Amino acid sequence: MGETMKRKHVFGMLVGLMSASAFVFGADGGVIVVAPGTAIAALDAGIEAAQKVGAKLIEIEPGEYFVEQTISLDSKDNGLTIHSQEAGKAILNGGKKITGWQKDGENFYSATLPEVKEGKWDFRMLVVNGRMASRSRWPKTGRLTHESRFDVPWMSTTGGGWQRKPTHEELTTMKFKAADIGAGFEPKNAEITVYHMWDESMVGVASIDRATSMITFSSEMGHPAGAFGVNEYVVWNVREGMNEPGQWYLDRAAGKVVYWPLAGEDMSKATVYAPTVETIVKVNGAKDVTIRGLAFSVTNTPLKAGGFGAGNFDGAVQVNKAGGCKLVGLEVFNVAGQGIKVSGGGTTIDVCHIHDIGACGIQGERIRIVNSHIHHIGRMYPSAIAVSSGGSSLISHNEVHDCPYSAIICGGAGGVVEYNRISQAMLELHDGGAIYMFAGKGSVMRGNFAFDIPDTGGYGSSAYYLDEQSEDCVVEKNVSIGIARPSHNHMAKRNTIRNNVFVYDGDMTITFPRCGEYVFEKNILVAKGLILFQGINNVSMLSGNVLFSGSGKRVGETLKDYGGTGRTDIAMGENNKAVDPKISVESSGKVVYGDSAILETLKIEKIDGSTAGTKSRF
């Protein structure tokens, strides 16, 4: 068939697929070009056309495309590339526009949504003029304290969890203080976040018994209220929680969405989106699919507990059991669930921008994540992790910041987490860190720069954390500043911590509870206060380190399980030196060495944290 006839043949197929609101046309070489309309029918039609004519490239013209149901790719789409003609200018929107705003009281505006009142539509996220709007919150700041107790011991994750399995009643009820929940609270609207230690449960309210001050939830929490000794909660989505401009709530009882405009916002001109789908694009079982330069925004989550790392939710972009897939130059923003979620491995995520995400930024196993910027994660679910991966994943040269729990989590065999720049993690929850490794086997943390990680209490926070069953791992050439506990190790063994630079302006603690056979060598520790090694009896080798304490105190504490059994001063001499190395760490991560003589004596290699972070942008 000649080229002219081929083009006519392709075009003829496409004409049969076009709708009045969106159109598709063919180009030379079997390329399918999709132009915007008022619905995503254009892209659906483009994918179907590509399958029919064997085209391997779909180009998306700039514009906004509204997704009414998830776009699915399968084995018929092997080798397909979908890309934006202009990077970031083609936006796939998983919601629909809310219009018809009317005054609702002195400060508020509302829009009637019959589908909400009928129980056909429910959502937890609203985007107003490009901004993920804040939900109504009670109380305005801080958290309420409930009176439920769950005093069953936690036996560790690998120890089986709770010593006694919680009952259904314990997982679905919470006793509150009568003064905290006013009589006007509408149970049908209220959603409650119950905080645990390293995660939380957002659940709906089935009923409120004011005689007993007991709330019954519409679904089970991940842990009982009061577990781990944490007795805190927050109420969302009630009119009483409308405290300031920019907030909203969904009035299910009245069938309307209510918003308090910011100063200067004109609701007759405002662009407001509410989500209708959980996933915009799903690649299911397809091989070698590439998605490049597209933007994804506005997705929903169901009302249920997110579990550890908020991992129970789907991604705006979902890849399931699809080998050789590449997600390149994507922007994912203003979504309620995960940004990108991968199961089955074999996917590369390169030069992506993931931000303003309700749950995790990127979640997957056996994946490659490089040169990406991931930030402002966990906007709805504070247990969310910016980057959560398992197996032989590579997480390299990313910039990660502003997340309520751990920035990067990696587990399983052969993972490599290297040259990432990480800050402002652990802003709300506990027992995590800049990089957290669970059950790592022969995994590596290398060349990362972690800074400004606060300790919010509970089980604390760390820079580099090797947890239960992590074995034969290496933590090397990393830099941390402004972190009181740069290295935390728990129920782990045969790991090596070497050639790192840890700097803190107070007391610094390195911890090894229930560990064994550790090597801690050729590290530089500089603290203005005390340097404390907890569990020093679990360290087989402590050698060739610079341990400079401004207070002159370097202490080793022996532990039995988690209890201290004694403290002694760490001897300085041939093996370890107390000399001030006169180093400083710039905001870029660059380590400035004032005294190289001691490094040469101990044969410590100079490292530089400024090599961490993204190397390029799309």
How do residues 417-469 score in pLDDT, each as one tens digit?
999 999 999 999 889 999 999 999 999 999 999 999 998 888 889 999 999 99
The alpha-helical segments, DSSP class H, found in 201-325 are: none
**Strand partners for 162:** 154
Closest CA to 375 of 347, 353, 343: 353
Determine the average pLDDT of the residues in 581-609: 94
**φ/ψ of residue 14, rounded to 5:** -70, -35
Cis peptide before 139 (omega within 30 of 0): yes
pLDDT of residue 369: 97
Q: Which residues have a Cβ under 8 Å from the Cβ of 559 and sit 6 or more positions away?
A: 512, 513, 514, 534, 535, 537, 538, 565
What are the C-alpha distances in Å from 133 to residues 257, 303, 499, 565?
12, 18, 44, 51
pLDDT of residue 42: 64
pLDDT of residue 457: 83
Determine the average pLDDT of the residues in 345-367: 95
Confidence of residue 88 (pLDDT cuts 50, 70, 90): confident
Closest CA to 427 of 407, 411, 447: 407
pLDDT of residue 41: 62
Instruction: Centre a 10 Å sphere on the Cβ of residue 269 and count the other Cβ atoms it contains.
Output: 8
Domain locations along the chain: 1-57, 97-272
Confidence of residue 16 (pLDDT cuts 50, 70, 90): very low
pLDDT of residue 7: 33
* CA pair distance 315, 304, nearest whole angstrom: 15
**φ/ψ of residue 33, rounded to 5:** -115, 130
Confidence of residue 40 (pLDDT cuts 50, 70, 90): low
pLDDT of residue 361: 97
pLDDT of residue 458: 82
* CA pair distance 483, 456, nearest whole angstrom: 12
pLDDT for 547 beyond 70: yes
Determine the average pLDDT of the residues in 490-498: 98
More confident position, 595 or 422: 422
pLDDT one-digit tens code per residue, 176-188: 999 999 888 899 9
pLDDT for 86 beyond 50: yes
Would you call 236 helix, strand, or coil by DSSP? strand
State which H helix or E strand residue 10 sits in: helix 3-17
Confidence of residue 617 (pLDDT cuts 50, 70, 90): low
Confidence of residue 93 (pLDDT cuts 50, 70, 90): very high
Confidence of residue 607 (pLDDT cuts 50, 70, 90): very high
pLDDT of residue 323: 87
* CA pair distance 189, 209, nearest whole angstrom: 16
Average pLDDT, the chain: 91
Closest CA to 348 of 275, 413, 289, 268: 289
pLDDT of residue 43: 73
pLDDT for 19 beyond 50: no
Question: How big is the chain by its Cα radius of gyration, in Å?
Answer: 27
pLDDT for 604 beyond 60: yes
**φ/ψ of residue 178, rounded to 5:** -55, -35
- The gap between the terminal CA atoms of the chain, to the nearest Å, is 38
* CA pair distance 602, 373, nearest whole angstrom: 37
pLDDT of residue 1: 36
pLDDT one-digit tens code per residue, 325-336: 999 999 999 999
Single pTM value for the model: 0.91
What are the C-alpha distances in Å from 375 to residues 6, 19, 355, 385?
46, 38, 5, 10
